[in-house]
Structure 1
Amino acid sequence: MRQQLLAAGVIAALLAGCGLQQDIATRTDLGGSSLQTLPPLSGSTLQDGSFDLVAHRGHPVVVDFWASWCGPCRKQQPDLDAIARCYMPAGVVFIGVDLRDDDANGRAYIQEFGVPYPSIPDPSADVAATYDVPAPPTTVIADSSGHIVSRRLGGLDKPSLISALDPLLPAQRPPKC
Structure 2
Amino acid sequence: MLALTACSGEARSNASTSTEDAGSFDFDESTPLGEVIPAEARETAPGFGGELLDGTEFDSESLAGDITVMNFWGSWCAPCRVETPEFQAVYEDVKDDGVQFLGVDVKDDRQLAEAFLEGVGAEYPSLFDPRGEVALAFRGFPANVVPTTILLDGAGQVAAVYVAVVPESELRRALDTLKAEEPPR
With the shorter chain as reference, the TM-score category is: 0.7 to 0.9
Letter in 1 for 2:88: D
In the alignment, is the contact (CA less than 8 A) between 1:90 and 1:173 conserved in 2? no
Deviations 1:65-96 (A, max 9, x none): 00000011111111111011111111101101
AA in 1 matched with 2:142: V
Structure 2 partner of 1:45:
52
CA-atom RMSD in angstroms: 2.5
1:94 maps to which residue? 101
1:84 to 2:91 alignment:
yes
Q: What's 1:119 paired with? A: 126
Amino acid at match of 2:46: P
**Which residue type is aligned with residue 129 of structure 1?**
L
After TM superposition, what 4+ stretches of structure 1 lie above 6 angstroms from structure 2? 171-174
- Pick one of 135, 142, 162 that aligns with 2:172: 162
Q: Does 1:74 align with 2:84?
A: no
8 Å contact from structure 2 (residues 6, 147) kept in 1? no
The percentage of aligned residue pairs carrying the same residue is 31
> Which of structures 1 and 2 has the bigger CA Rg?
1
TM-score by length of 2: 0.73
- Structure 2: state its 5+ residue gaps: 8-28, 32-41
Q: Which residue of 2 aligns with 1:143?
A: 153
**Gap change, CA 1:171 and 1:150, over 3 Å in 2:** closer
Distance (Å, rounded) in 2 between the aligned partners of 1:47 and 1:147: 27
Q: The residue matched to 1:90 in structure 2 has which SS? A: coil
Kindly provide the CA deviation profile for residues 30-50 of structure 1, in whole angstroms up to 9, marking residues without a partner as x. Answer: 15xxx8222112222102323
Closer, same or farther in 2 for the Cα pair 1:21/1:169, shift >3 Å? Answer: closer
Runs of at least 5 residues in structure 1 that lack an aligned partner in the other structure = 1-19
CA contact (8 A) 1:73 1:137 kept: yes
8 A Cα contact 1:122 1:128, kept in partner: no
The structure carrying a bigger helix percent of its residues is: 1
The count of aligned residue pairs is 150
Give how far 1:51 is off: 2.1
